Structure 1
């Protein structure tokens, strides 16, 4: 029999709120919470879709008449970059508010994207999951806890959480210690889609988790 522990953790990221949850619920509570979350996510997903649709035409302003003051400031910034070895030809800037162009430097030229790609990724995630989506990682055991020893296997069921890294593994180990689990006599069993440190192979993620729990 698999006993589920009730453990929770959370993380917020800029526009997108991604909750890292380590939790276990009864089938009855799962059904109730699922219905509520489904209704909420329907609304938020639609709102996110509207945001994405509004950004489909980012170059609606004329590219030829930027605001002189803003353009001058950006040119000075580009000059400073060039002095440090970052050529102007490798930089692209497009800023507008409403239908008014603020500045344009190669704004319509395809260039290798920098960290601004996070904006596109965030918009897609918002449209797909909604801002309140929870990635669930369930932690369970196949035996009782006696005198600080789990008499059985420690089971990890992954839920595709992309942000489970060293800090989460160490925090999980500390939480297990607080629950009175100091040692496990059985195996560390990893099932489902459990990712850690951006690795997806089960053997690799299992070994990484074991290292994190033992710290």
Structure 2
């Protein structure tokens, strides 16, 4: 029951830390007779199998993001999640938001669950290969609020791109050379 609530809601941090302290005190009986790291080891490895609640909640959020980005196409909840994320910051993006720097972007119209997704996602270092093997993801690469496309013109260019709703590399290509797939069909070597 607690695991389901951690997966669906975002409990206050102080509540999780108090519950965690009660669980640790139960095992320790207020006497630190075994290191805390042993308490969290699986039973198969000689530990007590205690679960770190904040870490488990973060793992649930990461699993949600992973399934949203790369999961099966027939996920029932994906269209709902996409519709909610498209309202984030008024950009109209969903999957590409996870590639952007969201500092300064208004996330207050998102629920605490979806805001927590970005908090947990921001904890992890993401590396993308310079050579992208998939044109699908390359065309969805955002061109605003990312460090990958740094421009000397600065905020004025980003503001103009946002005003014109040109937010991804695919949209830049369409503005410059026309529809992407028509252009790609004309190039036999691609």
TM-score (norm. length: structure 1): 0.22
Q: Which has the larger share of helix?
A: 2
Of structures 1 and 2, the one with the larger relative CO (CA 8 A, separation 6+) is 1
Q: Which has the larger share of strand?
A: 1
Larger-Rg structure: 1
TM-score (norm. length: structure 2): 0.24
